[in-house]
């Protein structure tokens, strides 16, 4: 005996499905409602200014000549790529960012390996090593510019003077190197903390099994510890690049972008064009290019991190 659905039954089923979907939508909005103020705040503080920046980047606007404002389309973008100073600032951004992140990562890995083993006073040593990261960037830049790299009474010149080397005006003769050193000093503790967390999350039975199988310390580190740290290393590199590429304090206080513009990175050069040259159009175009480049690099890095995380979970 077969039964057939009546129109009344179909209507009730459709109403039940609609009621269920409405309840699910209401539940979804109920969960999202506490996040709406934060979302509105982010849109007002980031997205609206970015849209205005895109608008200004399409116009020839200089605050010293307001009567000459006009729509130029992509002309500002063509001009900045022909600007040799912009290309030099972009190269400095790459050198400073990669130099800081790579050196800080290697130093942080070494310190994390040392702190991963028990010894007397490990808590005190760990606290002291974290201290540079807790110092304000402005204070750190002033510390290195005045106390460390000063050509007359800096600690670095005093140390090299002990072995007969003449004093060096570090921030004038080697501006990019001086900035990288100060940034490495500040960001090494951050890298150390991330990598130390990764080291302490290792399974000790795996390390014990490797030791029982006769693996040396180098082989254990290369084939077990380093693959385990891959996710933490990628995360440290991503966060380091995002933060260091926006460096402004150290350049402004240590070298002021000089000599000339030899040590200016993109944020500092944009500041010069916008607030010293009052060229709003081209500075806005530079800002748009910098943001887009940062987004592209971040997306590629995030995809690599998520792929690594998924592979780790599947294994």
pLDDT at residue 1 in the model:
45
CA distance 113 to 131: 18
Note whether 14 and 158 are same-domain residues.
no
Count of H-run helices and E-run strands, the chain:
17, 2
The answer to whether residue 16 sits within a structural domain is: yes
pLDDT, tens digit only, all 315 positions of the chain: 445 555 656 666 777 777 778 777 877 788 878 888 888 888 888 888 889 989 989 988 888 887 778 888 888 898 888 888 899 999 999 999 999 999 999 999 999 999 888 888 888 888 888 989 888 999 999 999 999 998 888 899 999 999 988 888 999 999 999 999 999 999 999 999 999 998 888 887 887 788 887 888 888 888 888 888 888 998 898 889 888 988 999 999 999 888 887 889 999 999 988 888 888 898 999 999 988 888 888 888 778 777 766 766 665
* Helices 122-134, 84-115: inter-axial angle, 10-degree rounding: 170
Q: Which two tokens stand for residue 312?
A: 């780790």
**What is the reported pTM?**
0.83
Q: Which of 178, 185, 152 is closest to 166 using CA atoms?
A: 152
Dihedral sign (CA 96, 98, 101, 104): negative
The answer to whether residue 70 sits within a structural domain is: no
CA distance 130 to 187: 9
- Domain with 27, as residue range(s), is 7-57
Count of domains observed in the chain: 2
The answer to whether residue 65 sits within a structural domain is: no
Helix (H) or strand (E) holding 71: strand 70-71
The answer to whether residue 135 sits within a structural domain is: yes
Note whether 37 and 80 are same-domain residues.
no
pLDDT at residue 230 in the model:
86
Note whether 149 and 259 are same-domain residues.
yes
Note whether 282 and 255 are same-domain residues.
yes
Note whether 42 and 99 are same-domain residues.
no
Note whether 155 and 229 are same-domain residues.
yes
The answer to whether residue 172 sits within a structural domain is: yes
Helix (H) or strand (E) holding 85: helix 84-115
CA distance 284 to 270: 8
User: Tokens 């200089």 label which residue?
Assistant: 62
CA distance 137 to 129: 16
The answer to whether residue 87 sits within a structural domain is: yes
For residue 60, list its beta bridge partners.
Answer: 70
Dihedral sign (CA 88, 90, 95, 97): positive
Contacts of 223 (CB under 8 A, 6+ apart): 215
Note whether 79 and 45 are same-domain residues.
no
The answer to whether residue 63 sits within a structural domain is: no
The answer to whether residue 34 sits within a structural domain is: yes
Q: Which two tokens stand for residue 275?
A: 């607030």
Note whether 147 and 13 are same-domain residues.
no
CATH code for the domain in which residue 102 is found: 1.10.3720.10
């Amino acid at each position: 005996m077969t039964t057939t659905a009546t129109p009344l039954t179909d209507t009730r089923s459709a109403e039940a499905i609609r009621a269920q979907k409405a309840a699910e939508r209401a539940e979804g909005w109920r969960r999202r409602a506490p996040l709406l103020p934060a979302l509105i705040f982010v849109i007002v503080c980031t997205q609206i200014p970015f849209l205005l920046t895109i608008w200004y980047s399409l116009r020839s606007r200089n605050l010293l000549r307001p009567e000459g404002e006009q729509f130029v389309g992509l002309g500002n973008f063509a001009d900045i790529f022909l600007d040799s100073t912009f290309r030099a600032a972009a190269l400095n951004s790459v050198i400073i960012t990669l130099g800081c992140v790579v050196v800080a990562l290697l130093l942080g890995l070494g310190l994390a390996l040392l702190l991963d083993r028990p010894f007397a006073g490990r808590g005190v040593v760990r606290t002291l090593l974290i201290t540079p990261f807790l110092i304000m960037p402005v204070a750190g830049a002033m510390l290195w510019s005045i106390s460390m790299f000063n050509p007359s009474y800096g600690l670095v010149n005093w140390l090299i003077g002990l072995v007969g080397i003449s004093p060096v005006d570090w921030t004038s003769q080697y501006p990019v190197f001086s900035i990288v050193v100060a940034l490495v000093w500040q960001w090494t503790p951050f890298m150390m903390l991330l990598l130390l967390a990764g080291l302490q999350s290792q399974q000790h039975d795996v390390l014990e099994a490797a030791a029982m199988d006769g693996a040396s310390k180098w082989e254990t580190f290369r084939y077990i510890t380093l693959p385990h740290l891959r996710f933490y290393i990628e995360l440290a590199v991503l966060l380091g690049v995002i933060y260091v590429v926006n460096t402004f304090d150290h350049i402004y206080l240590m070298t002021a972008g000089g000599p000339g513009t030899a040590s200016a990175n993109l944020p500092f050069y944009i500041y010069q064009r916008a607030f010293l040259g009052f060229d709003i159009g081209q500075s806005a175009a530079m800002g748009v290019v910098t943001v887009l480049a940062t987004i592209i690099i971040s997306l590629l890095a995030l995809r690599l991190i998520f792929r690594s995380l998924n592979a780790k979970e599947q294994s």
